[in-house]
Structure 1
Amino acid sequence: MTLRAWATPLVIGSFLVMAVTGSLMFFHLEFGMMKQIHEFAGFAMVAGGLAHLVLNWRAFTLYFRRPVGSAIMALGAVVLGLSMMLSGGEAGGNPMVRVMGVMGQSRVAQLAELSGQEPQAVLAALKEAGFEAADTQQTVGALAGGDRGRQAAILNTIFAQTGGSN
């Protein structure tokens, strides 16, 4: 199979996956393995893009002679550089990362109180969902074994009964 036979179809296919999953994630409609699929599609797009670039090198270099093409590529480079330099907030970084870290260090009893449920009811819901909590003093992080996906599933189980409104 030649480079030409798979490079552009790989770019198109990975673009389709990334466009749909990225748009859904932007609107916080993430479910299933969407984030992981989006990330791996990104790697596929990089591979396809590099192959496409090799196949079309001469045409690519011509864009540097055109002001619009050069400006768009320069803007992309500036945005990339800024994305690595800017923190995204005064305190630095994504606040949800910090919130999830605190939630992981929280005891099941604390989260039961936050969710407006009895601690024993939360333990029962966790057990029903397949998470064996020894007691209400156990942290979510310990219960998840350090797995962030499991931690999110545990938190979803605890807060599923609240309906998100308090």
Structure 2
Amino acid sequence: MSIKREWTTPVTAGAFLILAVTGLFMFFHAAPHLAKETHEWMGWVFLAAAALHLAVNFSAFKTYLAQRKGQVLLGLCALILLVSLMPFGGSGEPPYVAPLRSLGKAPLATLAQVAQISPEQAVERLKKEGLAVQSAQQSLSELVGEDVRKQLRFMRMLMDK
């Protein structure tokens, strides 16, 4: 099977365009609903298209890497990638996890107030979901553990009217 430049180049360019636009929207926190999913999946398309594009143009790529400028630019890109993958500071968690952890440790009465329901309604809803709630002073972390995803599932359930 022969890989054709006539389709690897446009597919690579098209995937890059989609990644660039969705990435900009995500950077400025203005992404429409499907932008993140589109960005993630098109990343795979771009990866495959770029690999095929590189295979088709490998001789030109080798010539480019034989030049000092190509070596410096590729080395710089490799260095940026290496540094970006290092665990410098922070918890490595998305920024919204810390507030969710705090909500998970708050009494159910506080969560009920945020959900605009009564503490009794919050307790009743959680009991219907199978949690052994004793009082509105308990927290979700006490009831379901420290798993933020589990806590979030119950928080969402409390928010649903």
Q: TM-score, normalised by structure 1?
A: 0.63
Q: Give structure 2 stretches of 5+ with no counterpart.
A: 128-135
- What is the aligned partner in structure 2 of residue 18 from structure 1? 19
Query: What RMSD, in angstroms, separates the aligned Cα atoms of the two structures?
Result: 3.9
State the distance in 2 between where 1:49 and 1:41 align. 12
- CA drift of 1:139 comes to 4.6
Is the 1:22–1:38 Cα contact (8 Å) retained in structure 2? yes
State the distance in 2 between where 1:24 and 1:147 align. 29
Is the 2:19–2:39 Cα contact (8 Å) retained in structure 1? yes
State the distance in 2 between where 1:100 and 1:31 align. 23
Equivalenced residue count is 141
Q: State the SS of the aligned residue for 2:45.
A: helix
State the distance in 2 between where 1:35 and 1:100 align. 22
The C-alpha deviation readout for 1:83-125, integer Å capped at 9, x for no partner, is 11133x3x43245153265167357643454x4x6334xx7xx
Is the 1:109–1:119 Cα contact (8 Å) retained in structure 2? no
State the distance in 1 between where 2:61 and 2:103 align. 48
Is the 2:104–2:139 Cα contact (8 Å) retained in structure 1? no
Residues 12 and 95 (structure 1 numbering): CA distance in 2 closer, same or farther, change over 3 Å? closer
Is the 1:15–1:45 Cα contact (8 Å) retained in structure 2? yes
- What is the aligned partner in structure 2 of residue 3 from structure 1? 3
Query: Percent identity between the aligned chains?
Result: 29
Moved over 4 A (4+): 106-109, 133-140
Q: State the SS of the aligned residue for 1:85.
A: coil
- What is the aligned partner in structure 2 of residue 39 from structure 1? 40
Q: TM-score, normalised by structure 2?
A: 0.65
Amino acid paired to 1:37: T
- CA drift of 1:56 comes to 0.3
- CA drift of 1:32 comes to 1.0
Q: Give structure 1 stretches of 5+ with no counterpart.
A: 124-132, 159-166
Structure index of larger Rg:
2
